[in-house]
Structure 1
Amino acid sequence: MRIAIAGTCGLALIIAQEIQSKTSHQLVILSRSPQPALIAAGYQCQVVDYMNTSSLQHALMGVDTVISTVNGNPQLRLIEAAVFCRVRRFAPAEFEGPPHLTPTGDALDRGRGLARAHLQHYRNSVQSTVFVCGVLYERFSVNGMQAHRIGMNTGYGNEGDFIVNARKMIAEAPVYSDSAGTMANICLTSVYDVARFVVRALDMPQWPAEMTMCGQRISINALVELIKTCRGRPYSNISYQTPDTIRYELSLAQMSGDVNKQRRLLTHLAAAEGRYDFATPAYLNASFPDIKPISFRDWFMRNWASVS
């Protein structure tokens, strides 16, 4: 098959590397700008203008499957070009929690709901799926997701932006899903395991509407304690949050105009409300039992091994 990956973020390139090294599929990377380094590394790259219909249609001629890591209007135009070029399958830029748990008008949506609606409109022309992986381990990475060129424009891609600052040992932990003290759970997956599952799914004859994958499902309280154990240090400051306390802090951040804090709190609210949680074993884990995802503990110990 000829596979097109839209975007050159870290996730896109990790998936591209998995396709290039583990399959015989033809691969083209769609980019807004020339990519001489990728071409030198053996990748086929196509410069595209997402606002130019002809540019997109030219790039997608002969493509079987599109994996998108671009959002907003560029993704909508990409979907339309895929339909015109009779692309068989399209995976939109999601890679988080189950989309049916996302409320209408969610501030973290970044146009993904419109993309899903677009694909639903064209469902008789192009098959699509949403890859659901929960939260990426890399949110807890040294130097944050941005160290992996992921989440560059989300507002919560820096080290310590999500739940735990493991360097300073500070935590704002949305451990409760309600005021009654029910523990909130979260599903997490390493971006490298996401790539492994996505690439294996390319050979599936049919794609369901959602395909879940999971490295580990854990309560947020246990996750916070696990990070403390891995670091071998107590927290210098820790606060435990319920959805109500997060909403109160969010209202204060809105009144003060602190946009970055609003975005961080919105991700905490999503975690507390269970929007990153789903049943395990996940669909792709069950479909490909030979793929053994790395545990969060092992990933964290490797990632933070050189940090005192």
Structure 2
Amino acid sequence: MMRIAVAGGRGFGFLLATELAQAANAYNVVVLSRSVGFSAPYVPARPEFDQFDVQVHVVDYHDHGSLGYALQGVDLVISTISGAEQLNLIDASGRGRVRMFVPSEFEGSLSRRQSRNGNGNDPLDRGSSQALALLKQWFESSRMKYTVFSCGLFMERFHPYGLANTFNIGHGSGVGGAGEFLVNFSTATAEYAERDSKGHSVRVCLTSVYDVVRYVVAAVDLGPSHWPQEFTMCGDRMTVRDLINACSTASNAVFTRHVRQYAELETYLSYSAQLCDYDKVAYYQRLVATANGRYDFSQATLNEAVNGSSSVNVQPVTFGAWLASIWTQAF
């Protein structure tokens, strides 16, 4: 039986761990958690996992001994953490002879993570390049494989209460709160570039958090031995204009649209930098990245792998259907 460690036991990590534990193959799942969740005596660590038969290891991500102990016998690590803690986890996994590592890199295709000025630096990196470079080193030295699962954008980015509040995801991304990316439901406004630098319509791929979990579990069911370096998945693909239309329809509101030319985004970005308004700098960096196709891909390779198999099945929700369902729940 494959032993799988999920790093991070809240939000996305909780969904992954519990879904893996309930999969048809009933994997042996362990959650690596920073805390036990309760301080009272005789209360088990993270009791919310008990009904799913998921083991919890409390770890110190800055202690290689703690990580090494928790990773004993683990075949696959799926990370939902980032920064220095993920780097330490990668090192410990390499030393511990883990066979496969999935980094916390779910939004945005690898091939589209490029600098706006072509110098190779990604302004939205947040430690991603370090993690990928370290994974490459371990692959070359110990043959620990790694695969990135790219979903485009989480549909939950457009939840009226925000991704961070509803799923405990994206606190450090700058777009975890409501109204921080493309659409603001509370003010019924939207700001975006409709066309890229070549005049083509800007498109994005979107996948619900729940469908991302289902696709990752389906990939595990298919077997990690033949995973490519990147799997792309998609619940829906649409132009940004159609995305705004869908948000307007779901909320029954006429949006005020600030449609920017591509060159305007660069101008706003430079102006914000001159004012040292770093929140706005990050805001326009995300709009530029979206216009550059960071969250778009024409081929969803994991969808194709799942659709071509008789042993797994995932039917992802469309953005319109997702919006309709969450709007009913939220209000």
What range describes the TM-score normalised by the shorter chain of this pair?
over 0.9
Matches within 5 A, 1:241-280: 241-280=260-299
1:156–1:260 CA contact under 8 A, matched in 2 = no
Residue 73 (structure 1) aligned with residue 84 (structure 2): yes
Residue 96 (structure 1) aligned with residue 96 (structure 2): no
1:142–1:159 CA contact under 8 A, matched in 2 = yes
Aligned to 2:138: 122
Comparing 61-70 with 31-40, greater Cα deviation is found at 31-40
Return the TM-score normalized by structure 1: 0.94
Aligned to 2:239: 219
SS of 2:61's equivalent? coil
Shift of 1:306: 4.9
Which among 168, 172, 175 is matched to residue 156 of structure 1? Answer: 175
Structure 1 Cα separation of the partners of residues 189 and 262 of structure 2: 19
Shift of 1:307: 5.4
CA, structure 1 residues 307+45, in 2 after alignment: closer, same or farther (shift >3 Å)? closer
Shift of 1:255: 2.4
Aligned to 1:8: 9
Structure 1 Cα separation of the partners of residues 61 and 15 of structure 2: 22
2:4–2:77 CA contact under 8 A, matched in 1 = yes
1:135–1:186 CA contact under 8 A, matched in 2 = yes
2:36–2:46 CA contact under 8 A, matched in 1 = no
Return the TM-score normalized by structure 2: 0.88
Give, as a single letter, the amino acid of the residue that structure 2 aligns with 1:293.
P
Which among 214, 224, 236 is matched to residue 196 of structure 1? Answer: 214
2:182–2:191 CA contact under 8 A, matched in 1 = yes
Structure 2 Cα separation of the partners of residues 242 and 106 of structure 1: 22
Structure 1: gaps spanning 5 or more residues: none
Structure 1 Cα separation of the partners of residues 329 and 19 of structure 2: 27
SS of 1:291's equivalent? coil
SS of 2:226's equivalent? coil
Shift of 1:160: 0.9
Shift of 1:123: 1.3
Structure 2 Cα separation of the partners of residues 157 and 254 of structure 1: 22
Aligned to 2:117: none
Which among 128, 133, 140 is matched to residue 112 of structure 1? Answer: 128
Give, as a single letter, the amino acid of the residue that structure 2 aligns with 1:12.
G
Residue 233 (structure 1) aligned with residue 256 (structure 2): no
Residue 134 (structure 1) aligned with residue 152 (structure 2): yes
Shift of 1:94: 0.3
Give, as a single letter, the amino acid of the residue that structure 1 aligns with 2:87.
L
CA, structure 1 residues 59+306, in 2 after alignment: closer, same or farther (shift >3 Å)? closer
Aligned to 2:46: 38
Cα deviations by residue, 1:230-255 (Å, 9 ceiling, x for unpaired)? 222211x2111233211211122222
Give, as a single letter, the amino acid of the residue that structure 2 aligns with 1:60.
L
Give, as a single letter, the amino acid of the residue that structure 2 aligns with 1:95.
F
CA, structure 1 residues 207+234, in 2 after alignment: closer, same or farther (shift >3 Å)? same
Aligned to 1:17: 18
Which among 292, 302, 320 is matched to residue 297 of structure 1? Answer: 320
Shift of 1:51: 1.4
Structure 1 Cα separation of the partners of residues 29 and 216 of structure 2: 14
Comparing 83-92 with 115-124, greater Cα deviation is found at 115-124
1:163–1:174 CA contact under 8 A, matched in 2 = no
Structure 2 Cα separation of the partners of residues 154 and 8 of structure 1: 18
Give, as a single letter, the amino acid of the residue that structure 2 aligns with 1:69.
T
Cα deviations by residue, 1:157-209 (Å, 9 ceiling, x for unpaired)? 1111110112321000222112x532111101000000001111113231100
Give, as a single letter, the amino acid of the residue that structure 1 aligns with 2:175.
Y
SS of 1:183's equivalent? coil
2:219–2:306 CA contact under 8 A, matched in 1 = no
1:9–1:69 CA contact under 8 A, matched in 2 = no
Q: CA RMSD in A?
A: 1.6
1:176–1:243 CA contact under 8 A, matched in 2 = yes
Structure 2 Cα separation of the partners of residues 61 and 266 of structure 1: 41
Shift of 1:96: 1.0
2:31–2:57 CA contact under 8 A, matched in 1 = yes
Structure 1 Cα separation of the partners of residues 150 and 83 of structure 2: 19
Matches within 5 A, 1:51-62: 51-62=62-73
CA, structure 1 residues 306+127, in 2 after alignment: closer, same or farther (shift >3 Å)? closer
Structure 1 Cα separation of the partners of residues 29 and 329 of structure 2: 35
